[in-house]
Structure 1
Amino acid sequence: MHKPGEIRVLALGLVKDIERVFLSQGYDPGKQETFYRAMGGGVEFGETSRDALQREFYEEIQAEITNIRYLDCIESLFTYNNKPGHEILFVYQCDFVDPKFYQIDTLDFKEGKRKKTALWVESNAFKTGEFKLVPEQFLKYL
């Protein structure tokens, strides 16, 4: 768990399949709002963002990823559960090694002690504003 006032460094990976993107679903109790974010997690000391990305995908959903391509580094200032947050995001595009991940609709996993859901979402749902993608800068990669 991160401390208040701490800047978190994360590696996030966008997996796309034609008009769909594989994302983690979240809920902000402060805003009472569902949102979606690319899979990934924190970069540990001494670990590259690329290595962190591969480790996080494996830890969370037991998935190996390939064709890892660096896209961007984004600084994200946000509010979650009525508390300010600050993250530096290393953004990658990648593919699943195992084709079974392209066949599933939803996948439940644990992030620490929290239960989460990952799922395929139509990219257009974010472009039309039907669903919320965080951070919004990710829209340009869909």
Structure 2
Amino acid sequence: MYRQGEIRVLALGLIRDGERIFLSEGYDPVKQQTFYRAMGGGVDFGETSRQALEREFQEEIQAELTNIHYLGCLENLFVFNGNPGHELIQLYQCDFVDRKFYELEQFTFAEGERQKTALWVDIERCKSGELRLVPEAFFDYLSAQL
């Protein structure tokens, strides 16, 4: 959770399967807007961003990752639920170890007290603007992976 004035460090995983990308769905109640973001989560004090990436996937969806490669850092300034946010995102390209994750279209998982949805999305739906991918700088890395 964000505290006012805090810069949060996240580790997110870019997982592609052909023309699909694996994303987590979010909703901003103030904007009444659904958005999509690569899965992952916060980096805890004393762990590397790669360790955080692997831990978050294990905790949230019990998935192991392989072929993990660092892509870069994104800085994201945003407003969510009416509050300003600031995050530094360590972005990794990776794959699932277990092939079952490529066969599932979508599933729900718990993130703290909240129920969230993870799903495969056709990349064109994000590029066309039909689905809102955040942060927008994510497209720079997505395009490089084509």
TM value normalised by structure 1? 0.98
* Paired amino acid for 1:104: L
Aligned to 1:93: 93
Do the aligned partners of 2:2 and 2:85 also contact (CA within 8 Å) in 1? no
Aligned to 1:113: 113
Aligned to 2:6: 6
CA RMSD of aligned residues (A): 0.7
2:146 is aligned with 1:131: no
Aligned to 1:63: 63
Q: Distance in 1 between matches of 2:9 and 2:69?
A: 18
Aligned to 1:82: 82
Unaligned runs of 5+ in 1: none
Q: Distance in 2 between matches of 1:22 and 1:95?
A: 10
Q: Distance in 2 between matches of 1:141 and 1:32?
A: 27
Aligned to 2:35: 35
Q: Percent identity?
A: 66
* Paired amino acid for 2:74: I
Q: Distance in 2 between matches of 1:72 and 1:29?
A: 30
* Paired amino acid for 1:12: L
In the TM superposition, structure 1's runs of 4+ consecutive aligned residues that sit over 2 Å from their partners are none
Q: Deviations over 1:6-42 (max 9, x none)?
A: 1100000010000000000000111110000000000
Aligned to 1:16: 16
Q: CA deviation at 1:3?
A: 1.5
Q: Deviations over 1:104-127 (max 9, x none)?
A: 000100111110000000000111
Q: Distance in 1 between matches of 2:26 and 2:127?
A: 18
Q: Distance in 1 between matches of 2:118 and 2:83?
A: 24
Unaligned runs of 5+ in 2: none
* Paired amino acid for 2:116: K
Q: Number of aligned pairs?
A: 142
Q: CA deviation at 1:2?
A: 2.9
Q: CA deviation at 1:141?
A: 2.5
Q: CA deviation at 1:4?
A: 1.6
Do the aligned partners of 2:24 and 2:37 also contact (CA within 8 Å) in 1? yes
Q: CA deviation at 1:78?
A: 0.2
